[in-house]
Each structure stands twice: as structure tokens, then as C-alpha cells.
Chains A and B, each alone.
Chain A
Amino acid sequence: EAGVVQSPRYKIIEKKQPVAFWCNPISGHNTLYWYLQNLGQGPELLIRYENEEAVDDSQLPKDRFSAERLKGVDSTLKIQPAELGDSAVYLCASSLGVGSTTGELFFGEGSRLTVL
């Protein structure tokens, strides 16, 4: 079974440019998460989806960040315009969702963004 797939793995852009990250969760997983991970730090939640609905986006900087999960499957996270401080790894994770007996999150390999 395929795991969580993210692309691109690496992206280098200049500040003020836009960037987009894509995530394909594990088939059948209703819950999808986008996390920000700075170097040497733990993941910090940006947004959580239950199917198509964003149920927790309180930590998403909405002035420059946006996300969507069309049809409750794939998701895209966009930054426009990017700032130097956005350099980080953007992690996508999925899980079976509320009511799951395990609660386990499955992570993708992450998208490493460098803003110059």
C-alpha cells in the first residue's frame, strides 16, 4: 500500500515568490494534516481537514498561506508571497480519523522549502 506522498521534496525560491506543495494521503484516510517543522523542532499544526472540511486552521497564517482539499482526497498548501522565515519543512500526514482505534498518523517525507 502506498504511503503519504508529497511533492516537491525540495524547493528553492526567492522571497516574495509563490510556492505550492501537494499531498496525496493514504487511501481511505479521512483526516489530513499539514505541519510546519523548523530545523530541530517538533511539528506545528498549520491546518487539519476532516474530509473536505478544514476543522482546525487556527494556526494557519491566512494572510499568506492557503490550503484546499478538493473532493476530500489530495490537498495543496500554498504560500504567497513567501518570506525568509517560511524556510522549513512542510509535513503532510493522514489518519483514519475520529473514531479510529489507533489514532496513528502516517507522515509523508516532507517538502523542504528554502526561501532566499
Chain B
Amino acid sequence: AQTVTQSQPEMSVQEAETVTLSCTYDTSENNYYLFWYKQPPSRQMILVIRQEAYKQQNATENRFSVNFQKAAKSFSLKISDSQLGDTAMYFCAFMLRDDKIIFGKGTRLHILP
């Protein structure tokens, strides 16, 4: 069975600092997607960044980047120059090619002024 584990329930960092959120997953499949979704307080969930398992190059989106270690089944999210608007729940998610998607329990991130 596929699982997604986020080992950090809550984190706090100062504005402008860099923070890394951890995620590990377990699967026997070889082709899949990995995602980080952001859910701000009382707002809808949105995609932050996406990684396809067959791509070795780590995905980047502006201040957001991932460290994808396929052999270790690790998919961490790095937020550089953190901003107050980055305060949110962050969910790591794993999707097989058949659209079955599994979410982790989330990491609550606080950016402190």
C-alpha cells in the first residue's frame, strides 16, 4: 500500500529565512507524480510544485524547490526567502498514473514577522 509521511506536524521560521519541509513516501510503483499543496487558513488548497518520478532534475517554482531522492523515497520542499503569505498547511501528496492520490497529514508552517 502507498503511504505518505510528513514527520513535522508544525514549524515556525522568521520571515526571509529558508525552511525545508520533509516528506517520505512508500510505493512499489515506478511511475508516479509527487506534489506539494498549500492550504492557507480558511482558503482553498492550491498546488505549489509538482515532480514527475521519471525526471531526475528537481522541480523549482520561483522561491519553491524540491529535493527529490527517488531511491530514498524522499521529497522535501524548500521555501527560500519565506514571506508572511507562506503561512499555511502544506501537504505532500503522491499520485499514481491511475489518478489515485494520497495525501500526508500535513505540516503547519508559521512565518513569523
Contact = CB atoms under 8 A, between A and B. Distances in A.
Contacts of B46: 107
A9 to B, nearest CB: 10
B97 A105 contact: no
A17 B45 CA distance: 29
Interface string A31-64: 1010000001111110010100000100000000
A103 interface: yes
B45 A91 contact: yes
A60 to B, nearest CB: 15
B44 A42 contact: no
B97 A98 contact: yes
Given A42-B103, A56-B100, A104 B91 contact: no
Interface SS of chain A:
loop
A43 B91 contact: yes
A104 B47 contact: yes
Contacts of A25: none
A49 to B, nearest CB: 10
Contact of B99 (A42, A44, A97, A110): A97
Given A102-B50, A107-B44, A110-B44, A42 B101 contact: no
Nearest to A105: B101
Contacts of A56: 100
A14 B41 CA distance: 26
Interface string B77-113: 0000000000001010001011111111110100000
A37 to B, nearest CB: 9
6 contacts: A40-B106, A41-B105, A98-B98, A103-B101, A104-B50, A107-B45
